[in-house]
Amino acid sequence: MTATSQHQGSTQGKTGTRARFSWAMYDWANSSFSALIATFVFPVYFTRQVAENETVGTSQWGLTIGLAGLVIAIAGPVFGAMADQYGRRKPWLAFFTLLSILTTAGLWWVQPQHDWLLAAMLLAGIATVGAESAQVFYNAMLPGLTSPQYLGRWSGWAWGLGYAGGLGCLIVALVVFVGENALWPLPREDAGHVRATFLLVAAWYAVFALPLFLFTPDEGTPGKSLNRSMLDGLRQLRDTASQLREYGLILRFLIARMFFIDGLVTLFAFGGVYAAGSFGFAESDVLMFGIALNVSAGLGAAAFAWVDDRLGSKETVLIALAGLIALGTSLLIIESRTLFWVLGTLLGIFVGPVQAGSRSYMARVAPEHLRTQMFGLFALAGKATAFLGPLLVGWVTGIFDSQRAGMTVIVILLGLGFFLMLTVPAAKQHPPTSP
């Protein structure tokens, strides 16, 4: 065992269950954003009530998410390299979390009128940049919290907890604001019942993110000023880019991830829109479907956490991708609402394992001294082409005047990611020790 690995093991052993659980609670917190703002509520509200019509709105929503993805792709590796030099991750995590919370709360003022189109796109885009950028620093904390052989387990449990958080927020939104017999009935002529859910997300995100900042330790201490960290971080990023051949395993993985995460991002962006446009789901129906999907996704993420530690991260990702491709193809063919409910819920089982397995794979193979930068590249691989998926869906939808045609882009991206992932070496597994 090298000195570096000994240091890493000792560092990982310092955190207790409370620290790890508090870290995982951040998944619970920000999944409210993923569930309501990115997938099930705001996109439907945007395409149906803010945009000119659903077809045009689908294209405009694709543009919004695509441009946000482009910003994240460019900035993520830079922020990651700066954080590696600065020595701490929680200040960066706090900044981007707050940015997402404030802009999400600002969506309350977006009225169901075309005049609010640009404001809606701007606020949603910034909120997305904040939420996704925060993930760079959140993910980079994982390897310092547990021993290597339990990375898959904690990554999967956190994703499962995240889906439970999304589920909880969806249920509260349905019962308190959106349902026919809502506990807090708000005027529906100005979509007050829907817009109130945006404030709910902001509050949920803020409250449940707190345990991480209170109880999860930051690995490093500030060793440099922010300006110096910026300059050294850019230099480090340049050096890493020039030496990518030395990290061939990671590079091949990131290329594969570029495609299959693009497919997932596009699925999240248009899942609710597809249910509403092609199967006639009302807002309450979309929320109910979101609840069912989060239940299956949470169960899948938690169950596959054991598969990850037993079989490996690569194998977990491949199994999950195969399930997504098969069920996603079926959802493009069927006409029945009942079958959509059944197959769509089953699809959720395989969503979490792709994300959690990817995170644990990177945690296993990333060099310790470049960890946050590597997770910045991890974010880059998830966003470098992420603008293409939504843009292609919007473009194909407009050309064929069909949401079904546009959604085929998702299956193609997942398939490309699957075949590229077959060429990626498996991450090294570790013998059992204490978690």
Domain ranges of the chain: 16-421
Tell me the mean pLDDT in the region 173-178. 92
Question: Does residue 393 have a pLDDT over 70?
Answer: yes
- In the chain, the percentage of residues whose pLDDT exceeds 70 is 82
- Identify the CATH number of the domain defined by range 16-421: 1.20.1250.20
Q: What is the pTM of this model?
A: 0.74
pLDDT at 14: 46
pLDDT at 350: 93
Tell me the mean pLDDT in the region 155-184. 88
Tell me: the pLDDT tens digits for 109-154?
999 999 999 999 999 999 999 998 898 888 878 877 877 777 778 8
Of the two residues 315 and 303, the one the predictor is more confident about is 315
pLDDT at 29: 97
- Residue whose C-alpha is closest to residue 353's, from 325, 409, 314, 326: 314
- Residue whose C-alpha is closest to residue 364's, from 12, 3, 10: 12
pLDDT at 327: 93
Tell me: the pLDDT tens digits for 185-239?
998 889 999 999 999 999 999 999 999 999 999 876 555 666 666 666 667 666 6
